[in-house]
Structure formats: C-alpha cells, structure tokens
Amino acid sequence: MQRIILTLAILAGLGLRADGFEIKVYTAASTKTPIVVDGKLDESAWQEAVSVGGFTLYGKPTPSEPPTFWKATYDDRYLYVGVNCDEPLLAKLQAVPQARDGHGVFGSEAIEIFLDPGHSHSTYYQFGLDAAGSLYDSRGQDPVWNADAKVASARTDTGWTLEFAVPWADLKATPAPGFLLGINVCRDRQIDGKQWTNWARVIEGFHDPARFGHLILSPPAGLLETLGPELRKGDRTGPIVIYSQEGFRDATYRGLLQAALARVTEQLAALEAMAKEETNATLREELAKSVAAYQQQLAPVQTAVAGLAAVGVEEYTRLDLTLTKLGGELSQAVWEARLKALLRAI
C-alpha cells in the first residue's frame, strides 16, 4: 500500500508543476570585439545581438508596461548581458548606489539576472543590478558567494540601460559552441508602484530555476533540432520559442517536430505492447481501445509533419502543442495502466 501512495504522490506532484508556459530559448553569438562595461551598449557586438522583450507581470500572462528588452553575447572570459528599460517617468528615477550585496538594490529600479550554468534546475546564481550600477550576487540565495562581475548603467532619452559581465570561471563553466545554460531576466520597477516582471514566466518567486529560459552559445547547425528533451527537462509542456539572429529556420522547426513525433510514437508503442501483454481480458480490451483512439488522433499529425514543405511559427506551434498534449496523455495512460496492474496484484 505504501508503494501505491508514493506513486499517487509522485503523480500529484508532477501535476502541480505543470504550467504550459513558453519554453524560451535565446541563442547568443560570440564577439571578438572588446566590450567596455560602461552601460551604453554601443559596441558592434550589441548591435548584432538579438534583442528580446516579451516580459510579463510576475504571476500573470499580462505583458508588462513599460517594456524591457535584453540581449547577450560572450567571449572566452565573460558572459555579457545588456538590458534596455523603457521608463516614461525617467525624471523620477533616483539612482542611489548601494553597498555590495546590499538588499537595498531590490528596493530600487533594478534588474535581476539568474543563471543556471549546468542546467541542473538546482545550482544557480542570482545577480541584482540597479540603475546606479550596484551589485548583489549570490549562489542560490546565499550572498556570501561573490563573483568578479562588472556592472554599469546609463540613461537614454527613453529610459535606462544596464551592461553586465560575469566571468565564466566564476560560474564554473567553459564557453563553447552549443553550451546551454538556464537564464532568466527580471525587472523590479518601483517608480510607479511596485511592479515585478519576468522574461521567462515563473511561479515559485524569481528563484524558480525549473522554469528559467535557456541560453545557447553559437549553436552548431542541427543542434537545436536535438534539444527538445533537454529543453523540456522537468516535464515542461509549453511551446518552445527560439530567438536567434537568423530566426527560427524551417529545418529547426521540422527537426523538433520529427523528434517530438518520434517520442510520442514510442510512447504509443509502449502502451500497445502493454495491451498485448495484459492477461486480464477486461483491462486488455480497455487498453486496446485507448491505443486505437490515440492512433486515430496521431494519424493526422503524422500526415501533417510528413507533408510540410515549409514550416512557419504558426504551423510549428500548433503541431508541437498537439504532440505535447498527446505525449502527456500517453504518459498518464501508461502510469494508470501500471497502477491498475499493481492494485490488481495486491
């Protein structure tokens, strides 16, 4: 009986973590141009880097106003993140420097950058950076840890910008093409009442590494098509959205869809095998009906994926969501079949 209770608890826990949020992926190109961390984002590398927005209010799907944008680049020594904060009430901005690791950073106009260099969903780093160029850094929530990071800010006609550099050595990471790490960029805005916004939507406060977005360094051709399982680590079910200089290529869309289709087909085959091996006639018939129903649902998706000459974001998103939903249902069906078998054996 304890095994049954544990199984049910695990299933319930997985359900609680399901969210359906976009799985965001940013691809960063390397730079040979030296980056001067002065807050101005005026080097050629910044002009070439992809700028992304899409921030939402914490805990809500509502797009945030005023908007926030960020971009990234890197070299052999540093990861660089640049942030542009639109601010219609710029005259009210009072940038007061804070002591290193002072919590006052979070009571001012600030950006929080979270990095999970091992994509472990457990070991991550937080950097709190304010409009005065102050720095708070921690390993998880332990501010005793310090990095040899650099930060600077500057004002523009429409808001303020931030430039941040952290040594790869302090992150215990080695940059290389295809290297993947978790990342999230959040904004604390105090000028017009307290407003917290996030690029990748999180639930358990900003310290929610399982729901961070992703940063991939100079992905080699064909790599993105293989990353579905890693990007969905932790049973993520939302659509994968990739930001890159050349856009999301047809080949990448098609590769991800083919990989997702293969996984769902494998799940369906496992369920079919369980049905054939089931000794209880009633349960065997029930499983066979489920298999037939899923085969019927999967058939048009297989036809659609096979017939795609060009794949755009709309086609990809619809098919990916359908496959993700089917995969989740099949996974649940397999668990339920195993649970019924376990109960019958008691």
Question: Is 183's pLDDT higher than 80?
Answer: yes
**Residue that the structure tokens 């993700």 belong to:** 324
**Residue that the structure tokens 């950073």 belong to:** 105
pLDDT tens per residue across span 210-221: 999 999 999 998
Amino acid sitting at position 120: S
For domain 24-243, the CATH architecture is Sandwich (2.60)
**24-243 and 250-345 in the same fold:** no
> Residue 217 has what pLDDT?
97
All residues at 6 or more sequence positions from 282 whose CB lies less than 8 Å from its CB, including other chains: none
Q: What residue spans define the domains of the chain?
A: 24-243, 250-345
pLDDT tens per residue across span 45-85: 999 998 888 899 999 999 898 999 999 999 999 999 999 99
Label each residue of 237-302 as H, E or C: CCCEEEECCCCCCHHHHHHHHHHHHHHHHHHHHHHHHHHHHCCCHHHHHHHHHHHHHHHHHHHHHH
Range with top average pLDDT, 14-28, 140-154, 306-320: 140-154
Question: Is 2's pLDDT higher than 70?
Answer: no
Taking domain 250-345, whether its CATH number is 1.20.5 is answered by: yes
What distance in Å separates the CA atoms of residue 218 and residue 233, rounded to the nearest whole number?
21
What distance in Å separates the CA atoms of residue 137 and residue 170, rounded to the nearest whole number?
11
